[in-house]
Structure 1
Amino acid sequence: MDFFTAPPPRDQEPEEETKSPPWAAPPDDVLGGVAPIGRILFQSETLVIALASVTAFPEGAEIGIRMTARRVEGVNDDTWEDQHDVLFGHRRHRFRPGQSLDDSVIRFGVRFPDGSKATTLDDRPGRYESPPPRPEGPILDNRGGGSGSGSSRSANSSWKLWLWPLPPPEPFEFAVEWPAFGVPLTFTEIDGAAIATAAGQAQPYWP
């Protein structure tokens, strides 16, 4: 007789399939279309911030940000470590109404021709409810960053932003600002028509 025996199978109800709403994340069952967009958003002696890729879906677009920093003479250890922390997503900030932004906070945003805008710092009431209520939009959500590599002299990091809804098929502005590391508020024109075309090339995995 065996001393150890497997427990009998339990009757389990199949889990109900849940999907993230389109304003929360890109769909996981669609191959997005890639827009031929690459822009240097900011460039200095020590830092480059680039919009490296845009993957478009029927209801939104995932924006890939690439940041590369290099350490030059005069950059002390504390400044370099602070930059590393932000580049690799190790530093999180909690904001309260009326609280001024810390200069170390990196900010991304979009502004459309009709004057509407969205930033990665926007508050969204009910975002943690289940299910979350449909927002008015637009939304630019920071989905995390930090994947990359670093050393005592250089660092590379990739970030993903989710833009919802799909931007209009006309030029719009992409904004970045990072005061602590010498990045002023900078706007770059983005081709919304190219994103709309790429969204039309998205392919669902299953009918």
Structure 2
Amino acid sequence: MGFFDVPPPPVMEFEEEERAVPAWDGPPKDMLGALVPVERVLFRNDALVLVLAAATVFPEGVDLQITMAARRGEGMDEETWWSRREQLMGSRSHLRPGRALPEEIERFGVRFPDGRKATILDPPPEPGEWPPRRPDGPILRFRYGRAEPSTRRSVYRNWHLWLWPLPSPETFEFVVEWPGFGVPLTFTEIDAVPIVAAAVRAQPFWP
């Protein structure tokens, strides 16, 4: 043996099993979801378009992808455009309890035929003992969003929202409002039949 010996590998001890993400919190990490094109325009004017582009479906919920494209309008001066562009590409504003919603914050929601609704502004389920209590649905959670490569005259973003549980196989409404950018409260009918049917195509990464 030499003077300087390679130390033995450390003993890794795990006191508890890895906790799975609750179904209402987001899609399972170890599963390939089934992709369903939706391709519904939620709002469009001369300067801004919002589209519900696609749904990635899992056995207990669905990831909804929203795509935005915005462009500099005719007659808009340079300073106004760059201020607007920065806001469109920026992260979501923080909500302050008891205060009015900032006009620059995007608002997405769903409403079902029985009157139930969910929005990304709803408070998350209360944390508690493990395993957590199954909450009442529906839940619509903001997962993440990002700005895409843009140009001097246009900007692009997308958002991913987690809807739990899977809706019933009928038409529901997707709701959007974004006052700071001229988007009024707008309801768009979405056919959930192909979305629900796709759940059987989701497959685990390992059998």
Normalised by the length of structure 1, the TM-score is: 0.88
**Aligned counterpart, 2:9:** 9
User: How far did 1:143 drift?
Assistant: 0.7
Alignment RMSD (CA, Å): 2.5
Pair 1:27-2:28 in alignment: yes
Contact 2:57 2:202 in 1 (8 A): yes
Pair 1:165-2:165 in alignment: yes
Aligned residue type for 2:177: E
Unpaired runs of 5+ in structure 1? none
**Aligned counterpart, 1:62:** 63
SS at match of 1:169: coil
User: How far did 1:196 drift?
Assistant: 0.7
**Aligned counterpart, 2:187:** 187
How far, CA to CA, are the matches of 2:203 and 2:133 in structure 1? 27
SS at match of 2:114: coil
User: How far did 1:19 drift?
Assistant: 1.7
Give the aligned length: 206
How far, CA to CA, are the matches of 1:171 and 1:139 in structure 2? 17
SS at match of 1:100: coil
User: How far did 1:2 drift?
Assistant: 7.7
Aligned residue type for 1:166: L
- Percent identical residues: 53
**Aligned counterpart, 1:39:** 40
Taking a change above 3 Å as real, the CA distance of residues 83 and 125 of structure 1, as seen in their structure-2 partners, is farther
Taking a change above 3 Å as real, the CA distance of residues 13 and 70 of structure 1, as seen in their structure-2 partners, is same
How far, CA to CA, are the matches of 2:192 and 2:21 in structure 1? 25
Pair 1:144-2:118 in alignment: no
SS at match of 1:36: strand
Aligned residue type for 2:71: R
Aligned residue type for 2:25: A
Unpaired runs of 5+ in structure 2? none
Q: Which moved more, 1:74-83 or 1:155-164?
A: 74-83
**Aligned counterpart, 2:94:** 93
Contact 1:87 1:145 in 2 (8 A): no
User: How far did 1:7 drift?
Assistant: 4.0
Aligned residue type for 1:150: S
Taking a change above 3 Å as real, the CA distance of residues 127 and 174 of structure 1, as seen in their structure-2 partners, is farther
How far, CA to CA, are the matches of 1:111 and 1:89 in structure 2? 27
Taking a change above 3 Å as real, the CA distance of residues 125 and 17 of structure 1, as seen in their structure-2 partners, is closer
Contact 1:110 1:173 in 2 (8 A): yes
User: How far did 1:4 drift?
Assistant: 6.9
Deviations 1:110-132 (A, max 9, x none): 00011000001011242598765
